A and B are shown apart, each in its own frame.
Chain A
Amino acid sequence: MVLLKIKFTQQRRVHLAQGLWLLSWMAVMWGAIIFCLGVYLKTELLRRDEVMDNTEIHVVPNILMMVGLASIGTNWVASRVCQDSMDATRFPRWKVLLLVWFAVAAVLCCLLIAVVVLSFALQGRLEESLKVGLRNGIRFYKDTDVPGRCFQKETIDRLQMEFRCCGNNNFKDWFEVQWVSSRYLNFTSKEVKDRIRSNVDGRYLLDGIPFSCCNPSSPRPCLLYHLTDNNAHYSYDYHSEELNVYSRGCRQALTDYYMQLMNSTGPGVLSVILIQISVLLSMRYLQTAMEGAMGLEDPEGESEGYLLEKGVKETFEDLKVNALTMLKFGQVDPNDTEGSSEAAEKDASPTPAS
């Protein structure tokens, strides 16, 4: 019981080969686009490498790049097969390679679906990574004289200005760390001594934020210090002031940015999956139709193309039996002699009856 049988005349076979050739070149182009998307995503992730704690999210662009390259190669092979399919002498040499090709194309489709799933599933891990990375960045903001961390201040400042965000969850994160370097603190002054004594770790904490948190849309010049003190500034209410600093946290801003980037690659990936599946199905039809035609006395007559020779269930059973036989090849050898002697006995016993 063949699956999805279609009759093919010579002309139909030629049209199928031509259509598949065009489709495979289109798939090559889409593969290149997927590769470029992967490269772009990777570059964007690498740019903010310093505020990310781990590189788990990099698996998405890595797979995209790999699949893009593999897709270019696979579909180029498909176009070569199409070109040779019209020539009866050249087509048979692709026979074995086609089996491998089908396996590779199926794996590519699965990988693409995995990419779409992963880009949603890894959102939580990305947020975690950003949380830890930003926390460290804010902690090391003041260490502009420590080798290895001296650019942390500039990185965080530029990040906050570009993404219009402040702190990890919100601007209050800056109240909990010392972000002014001790080199610029006058330890003899009363104010500094008070602040340092006011907490267990002896840090200089203040209710102030760096300038990069300032919101340019605010109607009044930016207030950086004494933010919780209503009396420190004229006509200022800490609880109702909304536009002074950015209200969004940088973790949220960065997560939104990267999710948006990955979601925008979604339609491209889905269309590549569709194109790859149609190339796969068309190639199967072409293969079976050409093999059928070559088996006939008249190579230009009608032949049948199908997806599977037997039904889905039977094909699956066949595959299982084949796989088990291959596995048994290794195990059969020690039992071979026993098995053959038993078989000889069994052969001997029924003969008297018959």
Chain B
Amino acid sequence: MKLYCLSGHPTLPCNVLKFKSTTIMLDCGLDTTSVLNFLPLPLVHSPRLSKLPGWVSKDGTINLEKELKDCAGRVFVDSQPEFCLPERELLDLSTIDVILISNYHCMMALPYITEHTGFTGTVYATEPTLQIGRLLMEEVVNFMERVPKAQSATCWKNKEIQRMLPGPLKDAVDVWTWKRCYSMQEVNSALSKVQLVGYSQKVELFGAVQVSPLSSGYSLGSSNWIIQSHHEKVSYVSGSSLLTTHPQPMDQSSLKNSDVLILTGLTQMPTANPDGMLGEFCSNLAMTIRAGGNVLVPCYSSGVIYDLLECLYQFIESASLGTTPFYFISPVANSSLEFSQIFAEWLCHNKQTKVYLPEPPFPHAELIQTNKLKHYPSIHGDFSSEFRQPCVVFTGHPSLRFGDVVHFMELWGKSSLNTIIFTEPDFSYLDALAPYQPLAMKCVYCPIDTRLNFHQVSKLLKEVQPLHVVCPEQYTQPPLTQSHRSDLMLELQPPPMPYRRCSVLNLPFRRRYERVYILPELANSLVPSEIKPGVSVATVSAVVHSKDNKHTLQSVPKPPPVAPSKKRKRVMDEPPVVMTPKPLLSGAVPLEAFLATLQKHGITEVKVEETADGHILHLQAEDTLIQLEEDGTHIVCDNNEPLRTTLRDLVLRFLQKL
């Protein structure tokens, strides 16, 4: 069993498991932090961004004026933002049989894997994962295609040149693998390969293994996966949460008794408790609005935003924000808000019950009805005519490099009355803000990451007790910035197996058993004999028939009657010679009785010697040795075949034959 690790990002995993002749890809997360090296894509012409000076090395030898721009003391690539893809050289992607997706954040690289690689397999995901994943992809494509850039910067990626660039561009890794965003057509094609599954549904893969998704409690339709054969069980835990937010609670008990547990997607903010962050979010929001400023919340169009809206729904009255407008701007805003209301079966119990009342499960429906929350596909159109300040705007993309958020940064950045509140944990907020400096706007960082923290995960592992744990290497040591916090790492016995990008791990367990079926007629023909109470044994002679990883014992075909055919000249394989197998022996030779028997047969001079495993009988007259041991009997008798045969028969008398 092998694990190929194609991504080094612990929360955007992409691993391939080879298990019993199947090749299974576990998630295909897309590392988008690479976009932070690019200039923002403004929706409206920005004089500031269009007049940035180009970058020339100090000695003037390298001139990349066209490709790189100096902005706020840092160098950015002036090109369509690019993403860092999972490793594609480690293994032939066309050999992948299936891809299992655990949540919509972990499927953003799907078109890169399934398109143009010869991939012919199937992708398995739950319905909300597919639908919301499609929305997120659509949104990114839309953000990119709305503001196309003519040229693509490539010169800076030259190894020799990159070495000379100022940081952080200099330190960016695998820049040659960075790719531009996919097109909508590729998205549609990739998603057409998805087959929907429900929680606990069992999917057979070639008869060899069975996979089944379990609720992971992190987002709508998010799942952990169980991959098991008859005798082995591998659990894949990715992005799970024990908090009671909107999704169905996590199914923990099904993870029990795993041989291997692959653990990814723990919280990226182990020291930030989501409740505290939510409180922080609300109080900063209220504070800004009361002071007459606007609040900008860069966020994804699905996920935590539902919880934020729900929390604000309760908070609005208490903070007397009743008249403040809330805007949600995204090309998929409408679909996201509406989809969330229809996935009732994927919601937590208390939201599910609302559906039967009938009431919309999420309170944002009411916010929309009462006109407190308004959503628009973009800043163009209706929004511009209805826009009222002070207000709260939720919009993407959280990297601040593309999407409508860029516009608001340009618009509100200059006033210290306004506040930007970061809630998505995926990007460093300082890096995200870098091209907008100097910034007068207040900035609040309250990342809300509901995924498991180290405390919860150690409790979980104590409960489900896997034999081996595999995890990204980041989880096996404290974070770099807090090296003394030994509570922020996984401490397990035996220690977990760490992986990094491009690792190939031999998983430390051997397959020892395989299930074999026996046909009824063959079973009928068996004659079991009891060798000790409760244990019966029978010998089987059969032919193993293997098909679709299913092994069956069939009766040995009778030798076909001699074919009268004379037409066929080809020499046929001799039918297997069916020999009656020698009987199997069991039992032990009792020493006293054996000696008595020997005496009866005239062998009297026997010297008995006790050994560690049994006895050695020295027949002095015959110069013969009989070794009686627990698991074997040896008769050492040179050149006296009749004696050997006699002795053998005497020994056999005491043994049971099958």
Q: State yes or no: do A and B come from one complex.
A: no
